[in-house]
Structure formats: C-alpha cells, structure tokens
Amino acid sequence: MWTLEQRQRLSLENQILIGEGFDQFQVYRDATYDSYSASGYATANSGRRYYLFIPIPTGYPYQRPPLYVTDPNPLLMYDGRAVSSVGVSHYMHTLTPHGTAGWPQICHWRDARWHSGIVLQKVFLKGLLWIEAYEQHLATGRDIADFLRTMAETA
C-alpha cells in the first residue's frame, strides 16, 4: 500500500523531528496494520501536557494529515464544553473531530492550503502554537482566534 517514496519520506520526517529539536514527537510504523502515525506529548509553558496524534493518511504527503489532541480527553473549553463540540470552528481553529473517538482536530492547514511540501515538523509546530493559544483561552475565555492569526498563503 505504501510506496517506497512514502516510506522514505516518513523515515526522513522522523529524522527531521529529531534534528529540529522536536524529539518529543516521533513517527511510528505499526507493522500489524502496516500503518503509520506520528505522535508525542506537547508540554505547554504552564507545564501541562497534551498528547498530539497524527494518523498518517494513505495519500500522505499529498493528502493532508489530521492533527488530534487525544489527551486530555475530553479536552474542555473555558465554559466546560468539550472542544470537539464546536466542530469546524473558525474561532477555535478546529476542524472535524475524530469520527469514533471524538478527539478535537486542530486546524493546522486546511485542505485548500495543504500541499506535499509541508512536513510533519511544521504540523507539530502549529500544534504547539495552538496549545499555547488554548491555554490562553482557558485563562481568559477569549477565542483561540484572538491569539492565533490565520496564516496567509505562503509556499
């Protein structure tokens, strides 16, 4: 199912994570299902930890990988509702939650902006930014969009 190019790319992406100081994250291969994922704990400035999880889609890198927060579960907002309850939200920078587990999906790049030149290290970087903005949301009740600007298109 996976091409040599994809396998090489994912191995290389693992090296990039390590080389760029993102070694709290790692790319994994599940030999049982011949599936790939990337995950790890992100530690916010507050010291709280959040588990970020990327199931690698079979069309990667041409297909956009989703980025979920799987721990804490559920991830709660300032008002006590689950983040996943807002669905695709501009104000919370979230996309469709995971279909079965209900994990909130962080909006890193939308499908309309994703391209195969983007690497997982940049996806995790956006995840870290979202986590910090989320903590500010918890502290103030303001929307995550108040702390994160929507990125202009860049190559």
Residues that bind other proteins (CB under 8 A): 5, 8-12, 14-16, 19-20, 26-31, 36-37, 39, 57-59, 61-64, 86-91, 110-117, 119, 153-155
Beta carbon nearer to other proteins, 46 or 115: 115
8 Å CB contact between 1 and 34 = yes
Beta carbon nearer to other proteins, 39 or 75: 39
CA–CA separation, 102 and 13 (whole Å): 27
Mention every residue, 6+ apart, whose C-beta is less than 8 A from residue 154: none
Residue 1: CB minimum distance to other proteins, A: 11
Q: Which long-range contacts (CB under 8 A, 24 or more apart) does 68-72 make?
A: 68/98, 68/101, 68/103, 68/104, 68/105, 68/106, 69/103, 69/104, 69/106, 69/131, 70/39, 70/101, 70/103, 71/41
Beta carbon nearer to other proteins, 87 or 141: 87
Beta carbon nearer to other proteins, 115 or 142: 115
Residue 35: CB minimum distance to other proteins, A: 9
Residue 48: CB minimum distance to other proteins, A: 19
Residue 61: CB minimum distance to other proteins, A: 7
Beta carbon nearer to other proteins, 13 or 46: 13
Residue 77: CB minimum distance to other proteins, A: 13
CA–CA separation, 101 and 82 (whole Å): 13
